[in-house]
Amino acid sequence: MKTFKYMGLAAIVLFILAFTGCEKRPSPKEYLQSEIKKVKTGKSDIYEKILEEELELEDGQAFPEELKEGYLVFLKEAYSHMKYEITKVEDKSNNQYRVIVSVEPLDLKATVQDITQEYLANMQSANLTTETKEVLALNQEELERSKYTDKLEIPVRMDWEQKKYTINEFDFSALVSAAVANKLAPYQMVEEVFDIQKYVEACLDADFKGEFDEYTRQTGLTKEEAEAQRNEGLWDSELESQLNFTEEEKGRFTEALKGFLASVSYEVGIPRKVEENHYTVEITYTPNLSLKKCMDEAMAAVTSGAITSMDALKQEYLTSMESYVNAGEYEEQAAATVNVVPGDDNRLQIVEEDLESLYSAILPVE
């Protein structure tokens, strides 16, 4: 009779436990798997944090606010393809655990590089936000053919306290971050093209218009250094020795030349990638023939005998330059291509010969 009595008591206890919410405690492996599943299925809130951490690693890289929402959607899709395996659970005593997760990182750059470069080779718009959105849409389809890198072993610490698991926040962020490599690659590939365009435009604006803000940002020079560099380029020492300008004449020549430079018209096209760290950029411009006209008129006066001294030649040339500054003579629009390649300091720069040819074509003197 006692056996039946105790069996009845056990049944009552089980019945009470079943209806008082008592649940089986999940293993550390089961709980961590459930949290990783949230990341894979887009139900986690960690994506924005991961993006912000990635931007910080890139020295606070500027990222358009209007792109963040779409980029987070893209990252969620990338994480749905993450590969991992929990390979070991170490019981460190006192309800503390160390879980080893083997992650096979999805390499975003390797996955989307070919299709992105193909798109950029034919890109027509000069809008970074618009083009990045187009690239993300294109890349999202490519995630079905994701490429992965060598496996990594990521340790994750966990505690069981107050009837629940707590995952070490730093470890979990490190795990999620490692699951997708080169997270900013789609944006950076588009941004690189527009950075090259900005750089070329900044070089032209500095030399022709005397505008230095973007040029100093791109080159690291101070405004004073950039201005000195430009002023040095304005004056030809060989010309100075031939004409023997006085300081007053040199000032007139320089100001008139700045006027000619400021009057030129050009447009920088979308850079096209030739190979790694080598771009070509087409510049559309309208040649200003004013300086050539000044030179032709001065030489014609010499040839005709109207001018017989160097002083008279200098005055004729300077007066002619000053008269043409605000009344330029132009040819039909033309185009030239410049190459942008790494310089001695490995920073990308315009090939010097290309730049000289372009300047001679924009403002010819002969």
Residues 165, 206, single domain; the answer is: no
Produce one character per residue of 169-198: b if its CB has 16 or more CB atoms within 10 Å, e if not. Answer: eebbebbbbbbbbbbbbbbebbbbbbebbb
Residues 291, 323, single domain; the answer is: yes
Residue 126 and residue 359: Cα distance in Å, rounded?
Answer: 24
* pLDDT averages per 10-residue partition of the chain, 366 residues: 47 45 80 97 94 81 86 96 96 92 97 94 86 94 96 96 94 97 94 92 93 90 90 66 79 87 91 90 92 84 86 85 81 94 85 92 86
Domain end (from 151, 183, 215) = 183
Residues 293, 267, single domain; the answer is: yes
Residues 280, 167, single domain; the answer is: no
Residues 175, 213, single domain; the answer is: no
> Which residues, including other chains, have CB under 8 Å from residue 42's CB and lie 6 or more apart?
76, 79, 80
Residue 23 pLDDT: 59
Total tally of structural domains belonging to the chain: 2
List the domain range (segments joined by +) for residue 160.
Answer: 23-183
Place of tokens 């000053």: 322
Domain end (from 154, 183, 212) = 183
Contacts 24+ apart (CB under 8 A), 345-353: 347/219, 348/196, 348/199, 348/277, 348/279, 350/200, 350/203
Residues 174, 70, single domain; the answer is: yes
Residues 151, 34, single domain; the answer is: yes
**Does residue 6 belong to any structural domain of this protein?**
no
Stated pTM of the model: 0.78
**Does residue 5 belong to any structural domain of this protein?**
no
For residue 152, give the 3-state DSSP assignment: strand
Domain end (from 183, 204, 224) = 183
Q: Which pLDDT tens digit goes with each residue over 157-206?
A: 999 998 999 999 999 999 999 999 999 999 999 999 999 999 999 999 99
**Does residue 297 belong to any structural domain of this protein?**
yes
Assess contact for 181 and 108: CB atoms under 8 A: yes
What residue type is 313 in one-letter code?
L
Neighbours of 318 (CB within 10 A): 20
Residues 114, 196, single domain; the answer is: no
Assess contact for 69 and 142: CB atoms under 8 A: no
**Does residue 325 belong to any structural domain of this protein?**
yes
Residues 56, 152, single domain; the answer is: yes
321's tokens: 């330059």
Residue 240 pLDDT: 58
Assess contact for 173 and 50: CB atoms under 8 A: yes
**Does residue 18 belong to any structural domain of this protein?**
no
**Does residue 2 belong to any structural domain of this protein?**
no
**Does residue 10 belong to any structural domain of this protein?**
no
Residue 213 pLDDT: 93
**Does residue 15 belong to any structural domain of this protein?**
no
Assess contact for 203 and 271: CB atoms under 8 A: no
Residues 105, 205, single domain; the answer is: no
Residues 140, 280, single domain; the answer is: no
Q: What is the CA radius of gyration of the chain?
A: 34
230's tokens: 């430009």
Locate the DSSP E strands across 246-318. 265-268, 272-275, 278-286
Beta pairing partners, 158 = 97, 167
Inter-helix orientation angle 169-179/28-40, to 10°: 50
355's tokens: 């730049």
Residue 209 and residue 119: Cα distance in Å, rounded?
Answer: 33
Residue 206 and residue 79: Cα distance in Å, rounded?
Answer: 44
Residues 206, 161, single domain; the answer is: no
What residue type is 6 in one-letter code?
Y
Residue 249 and residue 256: Cα distance in Å, rounded?
Answer: 11
